[in-house]
A = this chain, B = another copy of it.
């Protein structure tokens, strides 16, 4: 039902390529600390998205470490559009449920 981690990753990577460790911090920042996703969530999702062809990876040595930068493919942009729409639908549905005044039943 949720797919929130996937949505956030796709959204951030649609703006610019980033690496996993960076994405962990970025999600905290961009959601105003409302959502914190650990590395145990981020890395597996990145790998799955890459396998699906939604992301492409590029290894880049920086200092003595290696960073793996991810960016969106066309497929990834499609997926992002789908998930965004889906999210909006769910959000509107729940908002309307929460706001429906007492006694209003179709």
Which residues of A does B touch, CB under 8 Å? 1-2, 4, 7-8, 11-12, 15-16, 26-27, 29-35, 84, 87, 89-98, 100, 102-103, 105-106
Shortest beta-carbon contacts, A-B, top 8:
A34-B93, A31-B93, A29-B106, A2-B2, A30-B97, A34-B89, A15-B102, A35-B93
On chain B, the residues within 8 Å of A98 by CB distance are 7, 11, 84, 87
For A80, the closest partner residue in chain B by CB is: B98
Indicate if the CB atoms of B32 and A92 lie closer than 8 Å.
Answer: yes
A93 to B27, CA, bound (A): 9
On chain B, the residues within 8 Å of A7 by CB distance are 94, 98
On chain B, the residues within 8 Å of A100 by CB distance are 15, 30
On chain B, the residues within 8 Å of A32 by CB distance are 92-93, 96
**Which one of A29, A93, A102 has the highest number of Cβ atoms from chain B below 10 Å of its Cβ?**
A93
For A35, the closest partner residue in chain B by CB is: B93
For A26, the closest partner residue in chain B by CB is: B105
